[in-house]
Chain A
Amino acid sequence: MSWNPESKLNGVAVLLGVVAVWEIASRTEVVNPLFVPPMSKILRSFFTLVAAGDIPAQILTSMKRAAAGYLLAAAVFIPLGVALGLFKKIRRMLEIVIEMARPIPPPVVVPVAMLLFGLGDGMKVFVIFFSCAWPILLNTLDGVKNVDRVLIYTARTFGVSRGRLVTEVILPAASPQIATGLRISLGITLILVVISEMVGSSDGIGYFILDSQRRFKVDQMYAGMLSLALLGYLLNIIFLLATNTLLSWHRGMTSEEK
């Protein structure tokens, strides 16, 4: 993502163009306005729903579930990934299990989670937890496993203890890749919270979108989608700002090499 003001301005211009094409296509009935209402109508509906507090309430409900699953996954799978990266024996032992569990498409877990947790928050949190597991686990494992040997030898020649070797050398060296895993999981979280709410829920933004469609409130459905688009965009920006601050050394280093 570039912060160059000129490219940013071009990006906004393209966005406005897309909105304009949407508006015209709907008004001239190139597409059926019943199914694809004009953007102006969607936006009006969006602002009304935001002002009335409907969309913020649904988003908040979904975000709580998303945050619980995401943070739980980070808390479990970063340490596990570090352990697997450090110890070849454990890695070898768990390799087959991980390689077999990983290709399971996360939505498939929804029915299982429903059996285990019913239709409550637990189900959604579990589904998100499971789906975030792999990007976080495998990126952390890879980052830790591939820390440069020279870096480790250097630390060891200074006689540092094994604990300090991990906290002061291996973890910082692997942190850019751990951040990558967390960023991929962020997108997955958004997808899975919506899916799990569509399948089994009576609230949350996923339910809101599906419910609007069923009751033929098409502009509301699109308004819900718009709120998700904005949310995803915002979360990504927040994440990038945070990592660019925390890992500024890495950002500078890699942009220097280009």
Chain B
Amino acid sequence: MAILEVEALSKSYRQAGGESTPAIQEISFQVDQGEFVSLVGPSGCGKTTLLMCMAGLLAPSGGRVVVKGEQVAGPPRNLVLVFQEYNRSLFAWRTVLGNVLFGLEAKGNSSRDTEKKAKHLLGLVGLEGFERHYPWELSGGMQQRVAIARALAYEPEVLLMDEPFGSVDAMTRLELEDSLLKLWKELCTTILFVTHDIEEAIYLSDRIQVLGRRPSRVIGDVVVPLSRPRDQLATRADGRFMELRNEIYRQISGDGVS
């Protein structure tokens, strides 16, 4: 059953001259409950615009987003967005624990066991013992783990992620991918993951929506038939992984020519 429906979503930005240029055009797709779906597309194709509209932070120019049968008009209660820029999205004046508690407080949890819950989540993302640290005392990868733990504390049914691993180094990125898959399996959340990295999308997802160049629309819906649990070496060495990568690459680069 679809938990997230995007129907003919468009967003145009008005420019200085009064002309409006479309960033995304009539995008439609669905995400089922518990599914891990990635959106891939070339940089600057309006992926962030799309996510902002889905998160209710930006009003679309046309079409609509439906979460669990309800049309999005403001930030939905059961959805949360994780940004790429962890160093800008974490609350610098709150400790690591305080940041995670923010997610719980926002949900209206104020009972005494919130701290226990927050610590549990920090354990899940591998940050046990860092509760009293401030975000700036941690590495980039660890900061993004804090942001993920904070998002999960909100207990969202849908987690939107905007290139969350886009600004960490390659090794950390692989670790974070595996952590995310573990969390997704454990917490049965639905995840919509935006990336410009085709291989990352294949490695993580059940299904991939391929976006074309600006103004972007969906140019491909690719099912990933690879078995789970995935493994950074074995999965990526699978012949089907290569085939998928080539297919999606052809779709994206072919889009520019036509």
User: Which A residues touch B93, using CB under 8 A?
Assistant: 172-173, 175, 247, 249-250
Q: A156 at interface (Cβ–Cβ under 8 A)?
A: yes
The binding surface of chain B is classed by DSSP as loop
Q: Please state if B85 and A150 are interface contacts (CB–CB under 8 Å).
A: yes
**A249 to B, closest residue via Cβ:** B93
User: Which A residues touch B81, using CB under 8 A?
Assistant: 153-154, 157
Q: A103 at interface (Cβ–Cβ under 8 A)?
A: no
User: Which A residues touch B76, using CB under 8 A?
Assistant: 159
Q: A160 at interface (Cβ–Cβ under 8 A)?
A: yes
Proximity string of chain A (222-258) to chain B, C-beta cutoff 8 Å, 1 when within and 0 when not: 0000000000000000000000000101101100110
User: Which B residues touch A154, using CB under 8 A?
Assistant: 81, 83, 89
Q: B214 at interface (Cβ–Cβ under 8 A)?
A: no
Proximity string of chain A (135-176) to chain B, C-beta cutoff 8 Å, 1 when within and 0 when not: 000000000000010110110111110000000110011010
**A161 to B, closest residue via Cβ:** B106
Scan residues 85-131 of chain B and give those whose CB is less than 8 A from a CB of chain A. Answer: 85, 88-89, 91-94, 102-103, 106
Q: Which one of B83, B92, B154 lies within 8 Å of A253 (CB-CB)?
A: B92
Q: Please state if B75 and A157 are interface contacts (CB–CB under 8 Å).
A: yes
Q: Please state if A256 and B88 are interface contacts (CB–CB under 8 Å).
A: no
Q: Which one of A156, A168, A169, A249 lies within 8 Å of B134 (CB-CB)?
A: A249
User: Which A residues touch B83, using CB under 8 A?
Assistant: 150, 153-154
Interface size in chain A (residues, C-beta < 8 A)? 22
Report how far A11 CA is from B57 CA in the complex, Å: 53
Q: Which one of A151, A158, A169 lies within 8 Å of B154 (CB-CB)?
A: A158
Report how far A175 CA is from B94 CA in the complex, Å: 13
Q: B32 at interface (Cβ–Cβ under 8 A)?
A: no
Interface size in chain B (residues, C-beta < 8 A)? 25
Q: How far is the CB of B51 from chain A (nearest CB, A)?
A: 10
Q: B80 at interface (Cβ–Cβ under 8 A)?
A: yes
Proximity string of chain B (235-246) to chain A, C-beta cutoff 8 Å, 1 when within and 0 when not: 000000000000
Q: B184 at interface (Cβ–Cβ under 8 A)?
A: no
Report how far A151 CA is from B81 CA in the complex, Å: 12
Report how far A151 CA is from B93 CA in the complex, Å: 12
Q: Please state if A250 and B57 are interface contacts (CB–CB under 8 Å).
A: no
User: Which B residues touch A257, using CB under 8 A?
Assistant: 136
Q: How far is the CB of B160 from chain A (nearest CB, A)?
A: 8
Q: Decide yes or no: A157 and B91 within 8 Å by CB, A252-B136, A256-B136 being known contacts.
A: no
Report how far A128 CA is from B83 CA in the complex, Å: 45
Report how far A169 CA is from B91 CA in the complex, Å: 8
Report how far A253 CA is from B136 CA in the complex, Å: 6
Q: Please state if A158 and B103 are interface contacts (CB–CB under 8 Å).
A: yes
User: Which B residues touch A249, using CB under 8 A?
Assistant: 92-94, 134, 136
User: Which A residues touch B57, using CB under 8 A?
Assistant: 153, 156-157
Q: How far is the CB of B117 from chain A (nearest CB, A)?
A: 15
Scan residues 30-70 of chain B and give those whose CB is less than 8 A from a CB of chain A. Answer: 52, 55-57
User: Which A residues touch B89, using CB under 8 A?
Assistant: 150-151, 153-154
User: Which B residues touch A252, using CB under 8 A?
Assistant: 134, 136-137
User: Which A residues touch B56, using CB under 8 A?
Assistant: 157
Q: Decide yes or no: A158 and B106 within 8 Å by CB, A153-B57, A252-B137 being known contacts.
A: yes
Report how far A159 CA is from B104 CA in the complex, Å: 11
Q: How far is the CB of B106 from chain A (nearest CB, A)?
A: 4
Report how far A97 CA is from B134 CA in the complex, Å: 41
User: Chain B interface (Cβ within 8 Å of chain A)?
Assistant: 52, 55-57, 75-77, 79-81, 83, 85, 88-89, 91-94, 102-103, 106, 134, 136-137, 154
User: Chain A interface (Cβ within 8 Å of chain B)?
Assistant: 148, 150-151, 153-154, 156-160, 168-169, 172-173, 175, 247, 249-250, 252-253, 256-257
Could you pull out 12 A-B pairs where Cβ atoms are within 8 angstroms?
A153-B52, A153-B83, A157-B57, A157-B75, A158-B102, A159-B75, A159-B77, A168-B102, A173-B91, A249-B93, A252-B137, A256-B137
